[in-house]
Structure 1
Amino acid sequence: MPTEKITIATEAGHALEGSIELPTGLVRGAALFAHCFTCTKQSKAAVSVARALANEGIACLRFDFTGLGGSEGDFGRAGFATDVTDLVAAAETLLDRFAQPILLVGHSLGGAAVLAAANDLGSEKVAAIATIGAPSDVPHVLQRIDGDIEAIRKEGEGEVTIGGRDFALSRDFLEKVENIDLLEEVGRLKRPLLFLHSPTDDVVGIENASALFGAAKHPKSFVSLEGADHLLLDQADAQFAASVIAAWATRYIPMREDWPMPDQGVVIKTGHGKFGTEVHTKTHRFVADEPKSYGGDDSGPTPYDLLNAALGTCTAMTMKMYADKKGWPLEGVTVQVTHERNHRDECDHVEAMEEGRQMQALNRRIELHGDALDEGQRRKIVEIADKCPVHRTLEGDLHVHTRS
């Protein structure tokens, strides 16, 4: 799906780097993802969740906190309070653009940050909140720091290692991490909450999820990420968490009432990316696109895929309906349809055609399933395929009328 690079201005005067994963089709809402401690917006969890939400029509912004990734500022002096301020700035950017309450999603310390930021934003701006492996005690992150914390308290600054990376931390950083009662913040929230946590998380123990869940008010939900590590390094774990959040979020970011659902025919709306297009019928909606080799995002079938599908599905339905009416033992049908652009080159017997006119063909391969069918029944069912309505339309005198 399309990815848009953006810059977020902060009150501190530096810029944060972000990426918005946009739905290929229309946008039903927006979400903000906060990455884990010292990670970046490129973490597996961040990318997987953002793209899963985009697949559900929810644009998702993932960004780098102050001093991390592509963002400006000094990480070593930032601390948790700055993370919360960053989140509020990013959220306001989404709110200005999409003009409706947003979903907040946070991983690890990012989860704690979205829980704290939600109260600063106000419940009217937040649709729902989901966390992955979040600590219930923010100072918990200090346990992951390899360095002399007490020396930093005394001297005002010192070198540390976090996750294999070297940082210079200040006393301010420590104080901003310690001066937060997250459970109190959670108890004040009045929005739907989803907590995802692995029972085998050896970085942020499962007891943190229990504490957060106990402090939260309903509606609240918990999902166990059984077997997953804290960072969701296994792509399958990241994808599972992403799919759960995306499915849960659609309850709180419902389909927009102004989306077209025509009484007849279909309505086509251009979306995002080079070819992203959304198809609306009376009761369904789906995305059409082009493959990446043509410059698309490959997020849906191509127009010719849909043409092939129209003939193939109508063929299968017609044959099954006929066999059912006759009471014949047809167990199933497989139809493969391919499109051939230069069919004229394959047909020596074709009469001369108008200059410049191209002859095309749809090639259909039919396989009938059912060992109890006799040869006569098989032959008749295949003959019926040519009588399907779409087949007749395509081979009939078809005109396309356009008005604007």
Structure 2
Amino acid sequence: MEFEVIRDGLHLRGVIDRPEGDAPCPAVVMLHGFTGDMGDRPGTLFQEIAERLVASGVAAIRFDFNGHGCSDGDFGRMDVLNEIEDAIAVLTYVRSLDWVGDVRLLGHSQGGVVAGMMAGLYHDVIGRLALMAPAATLKDDAIAGTCMGVRYDAAHIPDAVAIDGGAHVVGGHYFRIAQTLPIYEVSARFAGPALTVHGLADEIVDPEASRRYGAALPDCTVRLYPQLNHGIEGVDHDAAVAEAVRFLTA
């Protein structure tokens, strides 16, 4: 089932996969990463997780952040704060659905940063929080003046930074915001069950980010897999995905 919500004039588009029947069930809101999308097609990480959730009796709700995928917006105007605003709009919609019971969050990469902060902001609403390779190092990178291998002057941030060989242009405001984000402080307000899954072979985000979530959140299990990269690919893929699904369907 497709759905659409409007946030500040932007149409955010997503899909809902739910178990058969009309019985109430838990729902997992899934948040994708930087330059990614909701992955509503065979072979993607989020499609695999969604199918496993539904098979276990839990609904999967995915959407594209502003400037990504099928949603409105300009990628160059995206930042973590307005992605949080996107997530709030979607969460409000999800909570309005009469068949949704407990609401849980899953975030990958930058979506993990948003999911963690959302859990902190809505600590009285969210039941469980799962983070996969959460990219909390985006703050450290912004302070150091680097993004996806591209360097810039962190003390005099340009109006725009081209990455991926020019395929994406990141607005300078993204880095100014990232430098001051209270990522762990806000996330730590969530006292419910949390899980971080991270690969020791992650070439983009240092696994130390997950260790810091484990130290900051009151009830957070940290699982590090030796043969797993940032995209949750590698020999440990099946084990990592299975653990996240078990946690979210508990």
How many equivalent residue pairs?
Answer: 242
Amino acid at match of 2:16: I
The offset of 1:206, in angstroms, is 1.5
- In 2, the alpha carbon distance for the partners of 1:22 and 1:153 equals 48
- Are the counterparts in 2 of residues 21 and 61 from structure 1 also a CA contact under 8 Å? yes
1:208 aligns with 2:205: no
In structure 2, do the counterparts of structure 1 residues 165 and 6 end up closer, same or farther at CA, with 3 Å as the change threshold? farther
Measured after TM superposition, the shift of residue 159 of structure 1 is 4.4
Judge conservation of contact 1:136–1:211 (CA < 8 Å) in 2.
no
1:239-269 deviation line (CA, Å, top 9, x unaligned) = 4333222212233xxxxxxxxxxxxxxxxxx
* Greater relative CO, 1 or 2 (CA 8 Å, sep 6+): 2
5+ unaligned residues in a row in structure 1: which ranges? 252-404
- 2:40 is the counterpart of 1:39: no
1:8 aligns with 2:5: yes
Matches within 5 A, 1:205-354: 205-218=206-219, 220-234=220-234, 237-251=236-250
Counterpart residue number, 2:80: 80
Cα contact 1:66–1:74 (8 A) shared by 2: yes
Residue in structure 2 matched with residue 19 of structure 1 by the alignment: 15
Query: Structure 2 CA distance, aligned partners of 1:144 and 1:57?
Result: 39
Match of 2:153 among 143, 150, 153: 150
SS at match of 1:73: coil
Cα shift readout 1:42-91 (whole Å, capped 9, x = no counterpart): 18222122221111111111111110111111221121101111111111
Q: Contact conserved, 1:95 with 1:101, CA < 8 A, in 2?
A: no
TM-score (norm 1): 0.55
Unaligned runs of 5+ in 2: none
Q: Are residues 175 and 151 of structure 1, via their aligned partners in 2, closer, same or farther at CA, if it must alter by over 3 Å?
A: closer
Q: What's 2:52 paired with?
A: 52
Q: CA deviation at 1:148?
A: 5.3
For the 8 Å contact 1:21–1:50, the answer to whether it is kept is yes
Contact 1:7 1:18 in 2 (8 A): yes
SS in 2 for 1:129: strand
Contact preservation (8 Å) 2:137, 2:205: no
- Between the aligned partners of 2:78 and 2:238, the Cα distance in structure 1 is 31
The equivalent of 1:108 in structure 2 is: 109
Read off the aligned partner of 1:173 and give its amino acid letter.
Y
Q: Percent identity?
A: 21
Shift of 1:165: 5.6
Larger Rg belongs to: 1
Counterparts of 2:135 and 2:240, CA distance in 1: 17
